Structure 1
Amino acid sequence: MEDEAIPAPIPKEPPKILRLEECVVNRIAAGEVIQRPVSAVKELIENSLDADSTSISVVVKDGGLKLIQVSDDGHGICYEDLPILCERHTTSKLSKFEDLQSIRSMGFRGEALASMTYVGHVTVTTITMGQLHGYRATYRDGLMVDEPKACAAVKGTQIMIENLFYNMAARRKTLQNSADDYPKIVDLISRFAIHHTHVSFSCRKHGAGRADVHTIATSSRLDAIRSVYGVSIARNLMNIEVSDTGPLNSVFKMDGFISNSNYIAKKITMVLFINDRLVDCGALKRAIEIVYTATLPKASKPFIYMSIILPPEHVDLNIHPTKREVSLLNQEFVIEKIQSVVGSKLRSSNESRTFQEKTMDFSSSSPTATSKDSIKEPSPSGIKSQKVPHKMVRTDTLDPSGRLHAYMQMKPPGNSERGSCLSSVRSSIRQRRNPSETADLTSIQELVNEIDNDCHPGLLDIVRNSTYTGMVDEIFALLQHNTHLYLVNVINLR
């Protein structure tokens, strides 16, 4: 039987290479530069900082998809520059490639505004010094739609982006289904606020009367951190400085704040600026985490703010579309130097830890009365969180289930003295009777002496000088005395 003949494959012509239309190229590039609403906010804030602004305000609607509005009081944009403002690769930051070696501005590619016009509707209102009125212009696909119109304006520039990703259905649907970008925008502005302390920042949702971030210019970095992140973080920070001027290594200077051993958090917060540019550096972040892992409990993560200054020629900014990542000359040496100083600083601060005590108010005479006074207003969302006493590590002094005096009859702090507990018993007896009648009663003196003799001095010292920590469950409470913890059966103390 002869084999059947196998037909020879028909050769296929290779696909033809076509030149993409410019609008397609620009839209693809825009999706790389403006990845999310927070990317647009970052680019606009950096433009405002390059304009020497002292006040920057951000308004956001629907997580930035409906509206992003950034206003500043910078030097503004000249009327003659408005027609080419949003064209690709138009910038005032550099004129030739060699300028990248000494660039000090935030922007330099001339891509951000152009990318925004390809994925959203952009309106620019600006006024420069000496003008009687400002100008407003709208942009689509990198081009100005109409001639700039004269309008009333305040000092500086306002850029408004509406309907972001209106022509990218997949991107817009993904962002609508994911978590709102507004918390990311708030976090971004908070990071800028603690570094650029000479600039006032504010951020709020459209229609909201109160800003979620509001800072004023200050000369103190620690005050800025306290204003943005809170007192609990600011009081647990240590100043750190590192520098190296050796000719054989990378010349750099770093200053910042790192959390001490008293700081406890479940997520690391690292704010890193290199040459005043907000960036990420995974290698430096991992190196610092290694130091903290050996010092802090496993559940704790540090708070880190660092500002590193290097010669501009030692930093390569042009390695990522969003300019979020940079490459450093002698990066391993810089990271090793910083890691060593952080470790030394952290070890020297780990000799002692501070615990914050809660002052309890025992002014109420009965648990029933205090529970009525401690009723809190319902939360704005209308959802009341249920607290399970035996599952709480720390308890609120306003919560009746976490109060020790709900189980023990205790005197108000104003009536309690640091003397013996028996002295308070004597004083309470004398308050009910005439002192002249009770002074000569030997039976009372004998009873008091008998109690003094039968009292355990060590146990009395523990009860007298202990610190109430919280309820472990419905029966046992946790007390701290010096470096020891004690379980107390509060039911049997009644």
Structure 2
Amino acid sequence: MAVRFRSESPALVDPLPIRRLQESVINRIAAGEIIHRPVSALKELIENSLDAGSTAIRITIKDGGLKLLQIQDNGCGIRKDDLPILAERFTTSKLSTFSDLSHLTTYGFRGEALASISYVSNLTVITKTKGDSCAWKACYQDGSLISTKAGTSAEPKACAGNDGTTITAENLFYNTPTRLSALRSSSEEYARILDVVTKYAVHNPKVSFTCKKWVRQAASPTPDISTPSSSTTQQTIRLLYGQTIAKDILHVGISSSDNASSHDEGEDDDSESWSAESYFTNANFQAKKMVFLLFINHRLVESSRIKKAIEAVYNGILPKGASPFVYLSLLIDPRSVDVNVHPTKKEVHFLNEDAIIERISDVIQETLIGQSQSRTLLTGGVAELTKDREKIKGKAKAVELDTEQDVASGSVEGSPSLSQAVKKKTLSKNKVRTSLQDRTLDSMFPILAPSQQPGAAVPQSNTADYSPSTQPTVKFREIKESQCYLTSVRNLRQAVRKGKHHHLSEILEKHTFVGIVDLDRCLSLIQHSTKLYLVNHGALSEELFYQLGLRQFGNYSRLRLDPPPPLRTLVTIAVDAEDGIDKSRLSKPEIIDCIVDTVMARRNMLQEYFSMSVSAEGLVESIPLLLGDYTPNLDKLPLFLMRLGPQVNWTSEMECFDTFLRELAFFYVPEPLTPAISQELRSEDMGEERAMKWQVQHVLFPAISRYLVPPKTLLDRDVVQVADLPDLYRVFERC
């Protein structure tokens, strides 16, 4: 290749002409500044969906987003009249004058995201507003509408669709091969996408996020990210980052008003007000790499200054090489923030940056130090305990030395097995400290069995000597699975088996019951191996009774009601107590008639399949008995009968069985109607509370251990690890 040099003589240098770049070249250059990789496009689209007020966002990815990147939301949608200019540069509904930047509260504002994506991919938009009778589909290339078929108009086409918007970008960077070749593997691009979706899901716990890979098969793949709507930040962190982080999380709220007393009244400016919320791990959590989520005015950004300041706080607390998890959301008056300083908006500048960072760092440091001090105080005499431990270690070493000498000299019988025991000695922190003689919480407060008469005297035994051997035992009648040839029931049983979570099954099958923490809130403690778990026995029992209902379908025992109460009377009691009935288009008598007629019309089916007997006169003679030695709270019977009307889908066989059994399981859950009612009853009669506690410990938890096939959903919020013996030993060692 020939190299062309400029002439060294100035007289021979001709200036090159200045030309206007072609519009397509300008747009492609601009697109390259905003859309660096698939995750850049997805971030812009997620922000558009959030700006549209979406509560559910579904993302589908193929080949790391290069072949397909689709995002579907249920937001307000896009008007059909706006579709022709949707993908043109600098078209936006959020900005009209430059001064609007000073009070901007939305994610997007320049109108470049969709335009940039259309210049480097094949862009398709399907959208529907609530006022539209149908959805509209439009295809774009280089910012303009295009037709999908030759000879057809490029105008948006009517199509089927839900409220909201679905945006699909295919063949990303197909016309920029250099950018395409610079990207790494599709798995790495997908990992970047999951990271961004995870961060937005943590910051928006009220929005449901789903992210999955596209597959050719008809069956939908399991999402890699799936969060519920109407959750909390801490619950979302537990779901996405794991229980290890969630159990060591701390939370603080900070604002400019906290130190306003240091200023004179009248000097504070509203434009300088700010507030922050942060979730961060304590000194127990140690990771190899720092996880840092930073949102400023709800925008995912990066700030090396804030990150270094927080790292400096942890340098004096964590060991060298260990890093924390930190989520920080900072809200600043829009007049103090300049958001238009980076093409992808990943950086922002704001006033009083040094003072705000210093204040946030100080509060985080004070919280970490306070938590460490309180942990030290709770140990109660850590110094003395450390000295005792050192003495024990010294004695143990002496014993080991004597043993080794005896084995070497042959003076100890069975020396090979003894030497093996010395070598394989279990560390104290790994010992499982449970046995049949261990005391439970309730052993300190003796509980009456239901068979004992209410008001009977408690055995006058010393509670210090009270052991599980004095507790009444329950022998379960084996609950066998009934033979059923209905396809719907067999499918429901198969779904239960398929959803089994093996680790949770092991915990529940081999647990040791510790005690009931709160009867009204259905909270209990169990132990498995070296870990202690706080469980919602209400949620566990609801799933258990649903599965027991499926297991015994068509072959239930009966719980007879004597005398049988009238169905209409029970439904009337429940309807009168229900809130919100007045807002219904039906009157209370009409609602009662509708529910009673529904149940009476299907009483033969209820008798055949569920052993629920309702006489022709409308008397409830019996209900199904799901578990022997367990009696449900009959105060909930009116509510159960009332819910059979609106909550059971009587039009579909499979859904009918599923929803009826769900309602039956809800009726069997060992909980009071309301905590307030429970408090009133408790002050009057302690017998019912004792009987319920006895059933929970001696009937319910053994049945859970034996019959429950737990799904993964119970791990999200109903089974929470609260302590681990090796972690407690590490705490004592640091103290």
| TM norm structure 1 | 0.71
Q: Does 1:213 align with 2:233?
A: no
The corresponding residue for 1:330 is: 352
Give the counterpart letter for 1:342 in structure 2. Answer: I
CA contact (8 A) 1:193 1:224 kept: yes
Unaligned residue ranges in structure 2 (runs of 5+) = 1-7, 147-153, 261-266, 380-422, 440-528, 531-728
Change in CA separation of 1:403 and 1:275 when aligned onto 2, cut-off 3 Å:
farther
Residue 336 of structure 1 and its aligned partner are, at CA, apart by 0.8
Q: 2:326 aligns with which of 304, 312, 319?
A: 304
Map 1:173-184 onto structure 2 (within 5 A): 173-176=181-184, 180-184=188-192
CA contact (8 A) 1:136 1:151 kept: yes
CA contact (8 A) 2:64 2:186 kept: no
Change in CA separation of 1:14 and 1:191 when aligned onto 2, cut-off 3 Å:
same
Change in CA separation of 1:9 and 1:336 when aligned onto 2, cut-off 3 Å:
closer
Residue 75 of structure 1 and its aligned partner are, at CA, apart by 0.7
CA contact (8 A) 1:218 1:224 kept: no
Task: Provide the C-alpha distance between the structure 1 equivalents of 2:432 and 2:44, rounded to a whole number of angstroms.
Answer: 61
Task: Provide the C-alpha distance between the structure 1 equivalents of 2:366 and 2:730, rounded to a whole number of angstroms.
Answer: 31
Q: 1:313 aligns with which of 324, 335, 351?
A: 335
SS of equivalent to 1:90? coil
Q: 2:366 aligns with which of 332, 344, 347?
A: 344
SS of equivalent to 1:349? helix
178-187 or 327-336: bigger deviation: 178-187
The corresponding residue for 1:259 is: 281
The corresponding residue for 2:137 is: 136
Structure having the larger proportion of residues in helix: 2
Q: Does 1:280 align with 2:288?
A: no
The corresponding residue for 2:157 is: 149
Task: Provide the C-alpha distance between the structure 1 equivalents of 2:210 and 2:364, rounded to a whole number of angstroms.
Answer: 32
Task: Provide the C-alpha distance between the structure 2 equivalents of 1:483 and 1:18, rounded to a whole number of angstroms.
Answer: 73
Task: Provide the C-alpha distance between the structure 2 equivalents of 1:411 and 1:276, rounded to a whole number of angstroms.
Answer: 46
Residue 147 of structure 1 and its aligned partner are, at CA, apart by 1.0
The corresponding residue for 1:192 is: 200
Residue 276 of structure 1 and its aligned partner are, at CA, apart by 1.2
Change in CA separation of 1:484 and 1:306 when aligned onto 2, cut-off 3 Å:
closer
SS of equivalent to 2:183? helix
The corresponding residue for 1:359 is: none
The corresponding residue for 1:24 is: 25
SS of equivalent to 1:288? helix
The corresponding residue for 1:120 is: 121
Task: Provide the C-alpha distance between the structure 1 equivalents of 2:133 and 2:79, rounded to a whole number of angstroms.
Answer: 13
CA contact (8 A) 2:284 2:731 kept: no
The corresponding residue for 1:203 is: 211
Q: 1:168 aligns with which of 170, 176, 180?
A: 176
CA contact (8 A) 1:33 1:322 kept: yes
CA contact (8 A) 2:275 2:331 kept: yes
Q: Does 1:244 align with 2:266?
A: no
Task: Provide the C-alpha distance between the structure 2 equivalents of 1:324 and 1:8, rounded to a whole number of angstroms.
Answer: 47
SS of equivalent to 1:88? coil
The corresponding residue for 1:375 is: none
The corresponding residue for 1:57 is: 58
1:146-198 deviations in Å (ceiling 9; x for gaps): 11111100110000000000011111011145862111111111111111111
Change in CA separation of 1:164 and 1:404 when aligned onto 2, cut-off 3 Å:
farther
CA contact (8 A) 1:134 1:152 kept: yes
Task: Provide the C-alpha distance between the structure 1 equivalents of 2:29 and 2:330, rounded to a whole number of angstroms.
Answer: 34
Residue 299 of structure 1 and its aligned partner are, at CA, apart by 2.0
Change in CA separation of 1:31 and 1:9 when aligned onto 2, cut-off 3 Å:
closer
Residue 10 of structure 1 and its aligned partner are, at CA, apart by 5.2
Task: Provide the C-alpha distance between the structure 2 equivalents of 1:481 and 1:123, rounded to a whole number of angstroms.
Answer: 55
Q: Does 1:229 align with 2:260?
A: no
Give the counterpart letter for 1:234 in structure 2. Answer: A
Task: Provide the C-alpha distance between the structure 2 equivalents of 1:482 and 1:277, rounded to a whole number of angstroms.
Answer: 37
Residue 272 of structure 1 and its aligned partner are, at CA, apart by 1.2
Give the counterpart letter for 1:47 in structure 2. Answer: N
Task: Provide the C-alpha distance between the structure 1 equivalents of 2:433 and 2:360, rounded to a whole number of angstroms.
Answer: 52
1:393-445 deviations in Å (ceiling 9; x for gaps): xxxxxxxxx9857xxxx999647889xxxxxxxxxxxxxxxxxxxxxxxxxxx
Residue 324 of structure 1 and its aligned partner are, at CA, apart by 0.6
SS of equivalent to 2:13? coil
1:272-324 deviations in Å (ceiling 9; x for gaps): 11111111111011000001011101121111111111111011100000001
Give the counterpart letter for 1:107 in structure 2. Answer: G
CA contact (8 A) 2:89 2:115 kept: yes
Give the counterpart letter for 2:67 in structure 1. Answer: K
CA contact (8 A) 2:63 2:187 kept: no
Structure 1 stretches of 4+ moved >3 Å: 7-10, 176-179, 245-250, 351-355, 402-405, 410-418, 480-485
Residue 130 of structure 1 and its aligned partner are, at CA, apart by 2.5
Residue 237 of structure 1 and its aligned partner are, at CA, apart by 0.7
The corresponding residue for 1:68 is: 69
Residue 9 of structure 1 and its aligned partner are, at CA, apart by 6.6
The corresponding residue for 1:471 is: none
The CA RMSD over aligned residues, in Å, is 3.0
Give the counterpart letter for 1:161 in structure 2. Answer: A
Map 1:447-462 onto structure 2 (within 5 A): none
SS of equivalent to 1:122? strand
Residue 140 of structure 1 and its aligned partner are, at CA, apart by 0.2
Change in CA separation of 1:20 and 1:412 when aligned onto 2, cut-off 3 Å:
closer
| TM norm structure 2 | 0.48
Give the counterpart letter for 2:203 in structure 1. Answer: H
1:32-74 deviations in Å (ceiling 9; x for gaps): 1001100000000000001000100100000010000000000
Task: Provide the C-alpha distance between the structure 2 equivalents of 1:201 and 1:219, rounded to a whole number of angstroms.
Answer: 11
SS of equivalent to 1:233? helix
Task: Provide the C-alpha distance between the structure 1 equivalents of 2:172 and 2:141, rounded to a whole number of angstroms.
Answer: 12
Task: Provide the C-alpha distance between the structure 1 equivalents of 2:433 and 2:97, rounded to a whole number of angstroms.
Answer: 76
Task: Provide the C-alpha distance between the structure 2 equivalents of 1:9 and 1:269, rounded to a whole number of angstroms.
Answer: 57
65-74 or 307-316: bigger deviation: 307-316
Change in CA separation of 1:10 and 1:333 when aligned onto 2, cut-off 3 Å:
same
Give the counterpart letter for 1:240 in structure 2. Answer: V
SS of equivalent to 1:164? coil
1:364-408 deviations in Å (ceiling 9; x for gaps): xxxxxxxxxxxxxxxxxxxxxxxxxxxxxxxxxxxxxx9857xxx
Unaligned residue ranges in structure 1 (runs of 5+) = 1-6, 356-401, 419-466, 469-479, 486-494
Q: 2:311 aligns with which of 289, 292, 297?
A: 289
Q: Does 1:46 align with 2:47?
A: yes
CA contact (8 A) 2:339 2:349 kept: yes
Task: Provide the C-alpha distance between the structure 1 equivalents of 2:432 and 2:118, rounded to a whole number of angstroms.
Answer: 70
Residue 484 of structure 1 and its aligned partner are, at CA, apart by 7.4
Task: Provide the C-alpha distance between the structure 2 equivalents of 1:325 and 1:412, rounded to a whole number of angstroms.
Answer: 52
Task: Provide the C-alpha distance between the structure 2 equivalents of 1:210 and 1:161, rounded to a whole number of angstroms.
Answer: 22
Give the counterpart letter for 2:69 in structure 1. Answer: I
Task: Provide the C-alpha distance between the structure 2 equivalents of 1:135 and 1:15, rounded to a whole number of angstroms.
Answer: 49
The corresponding residue for 1:443 is: none
Task: Provide the C-alpha distance between the structure 2 equivalents of 1:328 and 1:266, rounded to a whole number of angstroms.
Answer: 31
CA contact (8 A) 2:252 2:277 kept: yes
Residue 224 of structure 1 and its aligned partner are, at CA, apart by 1.4
Percent identity, aligned pairs only, is 44
337-346 or 50-59: bigger deviation: 337-346
Task: Provide the C-alpha distance between the structure 2 equivalents of 1:416 and 1:251, rounded to a whole number of angstroms.
Answer: 60
